Structure 1
Amino acid sequence: MSEIIALAGSNLVSPIILSFALGLAAALARSDLTIPEAVAKGMSIYLLFAIGFKGGASVAAHGVDGTLLAAVAAGIVLSFGLPFLAFALLRIMTRLDHVDAAAVAAHYGSISIVTFVAGTSVLEGRGIDAEGYMVAVAAAMEAPAILSALWLVARSGTGGKMAPGLMREIMLNGSIVLLVGSFAIGAITGEKGLAEISSFIVNPFKGVLCLFLLDMGLIAGRGLRQARGIVSLPMVAFAIVMPLAGSVAGLLLGMLIGLSTGGIVLMMILAASASYIAVPAAMRVALPQANPAVYLTLSLGVTFPFNLTLGIPIYLALAQFMTGA
């Protein structure tokens, strides 16, 4: 426990977390601080490209093997399965109806790529290596959860349906295309390609991440203000319990596959995170009757800051304890 507290303490005073806290505090205080939408979009493009390229270059150096394929398969299994656990917890812990519970559950089967990026940054800061192909696992976990949520709603007969072109829209989502595409470029060009542009995607990375998380803090704070009276205490409890439960599933699968300690931590982070980009866009199309104030507040306003401040240190400490690293 003391090690977790120490890790959390060091994480809380990192520039990345403090940047998020600044944005959150500014929004809650109703400051007029804003990040222009075009700038925020540019930063997200940069972060996705950088993490994808570095992951692809790592795969080029490592090579494709059975562990990589098993990790991707495990990620898909987690993305399909976690929404069912989330749905069951929501029905037990909250008064959400079938549709809202399924919509929220979809977010907790998919992933937050920014939480993943923050986790890789923490590992790098502590000198812990992780498999570069975990980027591919992240990309594979974006969409399956949406299908699970639609099945949950369709089973209840409350109107869930696969809208025409929805699957194509999901798979061609900009974040997925950029992440997979940059991963492919990194895998093709390898370490030589990485060396050529390292001054662009390595050195400035953490600075851009700080500014991006400042914007995320602003968005989360505004969402929390607007959700007063809509999100109940049991919902907030779920948004903390669910990532912990997901991280345990990621831990067990990561150990079963034989990932390194860093790889297990990233698998735990992926399983514990909640989408606030790809899944909300899909829910607006597939489940328009679901309440965005509920699923966005829980994923972005509660789970996201929990993972950044306390979750990542907990997952790292637990992985190190279980692997003896």
Structure 2
Amino acid sequence: MDSILTISSTVFEQLQKPTLAFLIAGMLLAALGSKFEIPDPVYKFIVIVLLLKVGMSAGISIRDADLMSLVVPALGAAIVGIAIVLLGSRTLARLRGVSTVDGLATAGLFGAVSASTLAAGMAILDDGGIAYEGFIGALYPFMDIAALVTAIVMAKLSSARRAAPEVSINSDGTLAAGGPRTGAAPCEDTDNASLVRGILVDTFRSPAISALLAGLALGVLAEPDSVYKSFYEPLFRGLLSILMLIMGMEAWSRFAELRKVAHAYILYGMIAPLIHGLLGFGVGLIAHELTGFSAGGVVLLAVMAASSSDISGPPTLRGALPEANPSAYVGTSTGLGTPVAIFSIPLFIALSEVLI
């Protein structure tokens, strides 16, 4: 009973924090039909600044980080990203009314990471005085890229299998449909390898990943401490509050898109972030036992797992899987997945207080 009361009180307190309050305010503005809007160039500028800040913060911290302390959480992040896609391929992608490609695209988006949700988690931990590893932002690309690549490759292979004619040779020498193709494996291996290379290149070239990796490289290889402290750090919370307003309005507007697709997506969008977050939390606990990974780090790994990409994922999927329905994967992610993930942050904080 005491644990339930602790979790409940923590959740209530976190809902009053600025980050979540601005998200709720954005949803209310959209629900009331407000004409308030942020120009798209301003939105992109905010996202790039936040990602550069997160990347530089991680890079500066990596300089003095113990290699093993970073490797174990990074490996865990990649495993979680892949596991989320595989789980989605066995659940959502097999439900009635859900095509395999749409299901895998949605799972890929949920396996990838929302930089804004990660930033929100960092802000909430900072407000609560909860310490976490400075290199936590460096875990973002490991989970993000692993999930997107896994989802896109699985979807491409699934489409190729359905489209390719399956031919077998009968005993009399005639051809018959329905059997396995002969001599196709080398070609398939070559095509798959080229596909994976192309996906990796596109992912690394995406604006979000590029900004994050640029900030990471600057933090590790250069000395951006002065500009980081005088420009990026002071602007972080103010820009994040504006981003939360935008995300709240976007989340509300996406609810309408979900009416066009199967109800399975609504169920997935509400439940998956919690399951994924608990999966990330469990991997974080393993890292905690092996390397002393902090309680705050465990929470942020859970937040990354619970989040669904709202920046790098959609354009990557749209370019790699044009046949997938954006109303399905973007609507589910932004309309349900993102708010559920952000509102679950207090839950993971409370769990860390009870278990660590």
What is the RMSD of the two structures over their aligned residues, measured on CA atoms? 2.2
Q: How far apart, CA to CA, are the structure 2 residues paired with 1:181 and 1:245?
A: 32
Matched, 1:20 2:23: yes
Q: How far apart, CA to CA, are the structure 2 residues paired with 1:159 and 1:211?
A: 45
Matched, 1:214 2:216: no
Q: How far apart, CA to CA, are the structure 1 residues paired with 2:334 and 2:250?
A: 8
Which residue does 2:322 correspond to in 1?
288
Tell me: CA distance 1:147–1:50, structure 2 relative to 1, closer, same or farther (3 Å): closer
Matched, 1:11 2:14: yes
**C-alpha distance after superposition, 1:156-198 (max 9, x if no partner):** 62469839843311111111111111122223356xx435541
Matched, 1:194 2:225: yes
Q: How far apart, CA to CA, are the structure 1 residues paired with 2:304 and 2:196?
A: 27
Superposition pairs of residues 92-131 of structure 1, within 5 angstroms: 95-131=97-133
Q: How far apart, CA to CA, are the structure 1 residues paired with 2:226 and 2:96?
A: 51
1:148 shift after superposition: 1.8
Normalised to the residue count of structure 2, the TM-score between the two structures is 0.83
Q: Specify the code of the residue in structure 2 equivalent to 1:294.
A: A
Q: Specify the code of the residue in structure 2 equivalent to 1:102.
A: L
Q: How far apart, CA to CA, are the structure 2 residues paired with 1:196 and 1:44?
A: 18
Superposition pairs of residues 245-264 of structure 1, within 5 angstroms: 245-258=275-288, 259-264=293-298
Normalised to the residue count of structure 1, the TM-score between the two structures is 0.90
Tell me: CA distance 1:197–1:98, structure 2 relative to 1, closer, same or farther (3 Å): closer
Which residue does 1:306 correspond to in 2?
340
1:54 shift after superposition: 1.6
Q: Specify the code of the residue in structure 1 equivalent to 2:79.
A: V
Q: Which structure is larger by alpha-carbon Rg, 1 or 2?
A: 2
Matched, 1:42 2:36: no
Q: Are 2:258 and 2:266, in contact at CA under 8 Å, matched by a contact in 1? A: no
Q: How far apart, CA to CA, are the structure 2 residues paired with 1:282 and 1:159?
A: 23
Superposition pairs of residues 89-238 of structure 1, within 5 angstroms: 89-91=91-93, 95-153=97-155, 154-155=157-158, 157-158=161-162, 162=195, 165-189=198-222, 193-195=224-226, 197-230=228-261, 232=263, 234-238=264-268
Tell me: CA distance 1:226–1:196, structure 2 relative to 1, closer, same or farther (3 Å): closer
Q: Are 2:199 and 2:320, in contact at CA under 8 Å, matched by a contact in 1? A: yes
1:87 shift after superposition: 2.3
Q: Are 2:7 and 2:350, in contact at CA under 8 Å, matched by a contact in 1? A: yes
> Moved runs in structure 1, 4+ residues, more than 6 A?
none
Q: Specify the code of the residue in structure 2 equivalent to 1:246.
A: H
Q: Are 1:251 and 1:267, in contact at CA under 8 Å, matched by a contact in 2? A: yes
1:95 shift after superposition: 3.1
Counterpart secondary structure, 2:141: helix
Q: How far apart, CA to CA, are the structure 1 residues paired with 2:116 and 2:96?
A: 27
1:127 shift after superposition: 0.9
**What percent of counterpart residues are identical?**
26
1:16 shift after superposition: 1.7
Q: Which range moves more in the overlay, 34-43 or 14-23?
A: 14-23
Q: How far apart, CA to CA, are the structure 2 residues paired with 1:141 and 1:163?
A: 16
Which residue does 1:51 correspond to in 2?
54
Tell me: CA distance 1:298–1:246, structure 2 relative to 1, closer, same or farther (3 Å): same
Q: What is the number of residues matched between the two proteins?
A: 318
Q: Are 1:52 and 1:180, in contact at CA under 8 Å, matched by a contact in 2? A: yes
Q: Are 1:236 and 1:298, in contact at CA under 8 Å, matched by a contact in 2? A: yes
Q: Are 1:123 and 1:262, in contact at CA under 8 Å, matched by a contact in 2? A: yes
1:80 shift after superposition: 1.7
Superposition pairs of residues 68-83 of structure 1, within 5 angstroms: 68-83=70-85
Q: Which runs of 5+ in 2 are unaligned?
A: 165-191
1:93 shift after superposition: 5.6
Q: Which runs of 5+ in 1 are unaligned?
A: none
Q: Specify the code of the residue in structure 2 equivalent to 1:31.
A: S
Q: How far apart, CA to CA, are the structure 2 residues paired with 1:90 and 1:165?
A: 26
